[in-house]
Structure 1
Amino acid sequence: MSCKASWMVFALVAVLAACSSVPYAQRVAQRQAAYAAAAGAPVRSFHFFNLYSWEPLGDSQVAIYTQINRAWLLDVSPCQNLGFTNAIGLTSFAGEVSVNFDKVLVGRGYPPCFISKIRPIDVAKLKLEQQAQREINAEPRQPAAAG
């Protein structure tokens, strides 16, 4: 690889790294706070027939959507690869996912993650919380003094 090509790759990497104005850890903390604010009281189990969507929230929490407007916040044992896997699975018995019995599966070669707490998420409240985080308080600039 020529010196010029090396510098071009380095410049591209630097530009891409600078694109995010909010550090990753801060974004994860904001998402965790939004989900925690929208989560209800812990429950023992929930009906599970279909995994609509999911979102990792660090290595010890995951949000599971069973429908577009029905979600659950799962606290799990520290889970390797949770934030990086492309797919997850949930164990269940007779269509029911239960605390201290069922697990989140993150891929071959990684141990299963035991579910220690399940909380229902008020999806409408979560969307309002996330929308509030995206609001920007913009003020017009003052004209520069001539001088």
Structure 2
Amino acid sequence: MQKSFLMPASALMLAMLAAGCSSVPYAQRAAQRQADYVAAAGAPVRSFHFFSLYSWEALSDTQLAVYTRPNQAWLLDLAGCQDLMFTNNIGLTSNISEVMVGFDKVLTGSHNFPCTITGIRPVDVKSLKLAQEQQRKIEAAARNGEQGAAK
């Protein structure tokens, strides 16, 4: 009897610990990713051609990056989304292979809850990748007292 109580309690404790430890860095990373996409996005456009969805990344409940090819991405501004950051799959509506502002929607999750596309901006993928590489660079410096120890 005591063993069955310990298993759920241990699992709950580990989940709470993991959530508490990872929430701040995740929030910072998510905000940085969104800022990188916004910085790499160009001027707003009315539509884009859509044949297939290569990849996507939810940046917030109001912004989504969709890739139609490995080197072609679009930043979508959305209205009416709920829990976009937690959905496992999305779909896009289109008319004659074209996604348009104010007309087409992003469908989220198994419920296909529609989010209206209120803005579309092309993303300069090369610029985005360069910004992300710059953030990954690490500055190495010797610790105090270790300058001559590695000889």
**Normalization by structure 2: what TM-score?**
0.83
- Between the aligned partners of 2:20 and 2:110, the Cα distance in structure 1 is 34
In the alignment, which residue of structure 2 is the partner of 1:120? 122
Q: Cα RMSD (Å) of the superposition? A: 2.4
What are the superposed Cα offsets for residues 76-102 of structure 1, whole Å, 9 maximum, x if unpaired? 004112111111000000000000000
Local SS of the residue matching 2:44: coil
In the alignment, which residue of structure 2 is the partner of 1:58? 60
- Between the aligned partners of 1:46 and 1:134, the Cα distance in structure 2 is 31
In the alignment, which residue of structure 2 is the partner of 1:94? 96
One-letter amino acid of the counterpart of residue 96, structure 1: E
Q: Is the 8 A contact 1:81 1:110 kept in 2?
A: no
How many residues end up aligned between the 2 structures? Answer: 144
- Percent identity of the aligned residues? 58
- How far apart are 1:133 and its partner, in Å? 1.5
Match of 1:49 among 44, 48, 51: 51
Stretches of structure 1 that go unaligned for 5 or more consecutive residues are none
The aligned runs of 1:1-147 (5 Å cut-off) are: 1-2=2-3, 5=7, 9=11, 12-13=14-15, 16-17=18-19, 20=22, 23-109=25-111, 111-143=113-145
- How far apart are 1:7 and its partner, in Å? 7.1
Local SS of the residue matching 2:86: coil
Q: Is the 8 A contact 1:80 1:110 kept in 2?
A: no
Per residue, is there more helix in 1 or in 2? Answer: 2
Q: Is the 8 A contact 2:80 2:114 kept in 1?
A: no
- Between the aligned partners of 2:46 and 2:30, the Cα distance in structure 1 is 26
Q: Please identify, of 59-68 and 20-29, the stretch whose mean Cα deviation from structure 2 is larger.
A: 20-29
- Between the aligned partners of 1:29 and 1:108, the Cα distance in structure 2 is 26
- Between the aligned partners of 1:28 and 1:80, the Cα distance in structure 2 is 17
- Between the aligned partners of 1:143 and 1:5, the Cα distance in structure 2 is 47
Local SS of the residue matching 1:23: helix
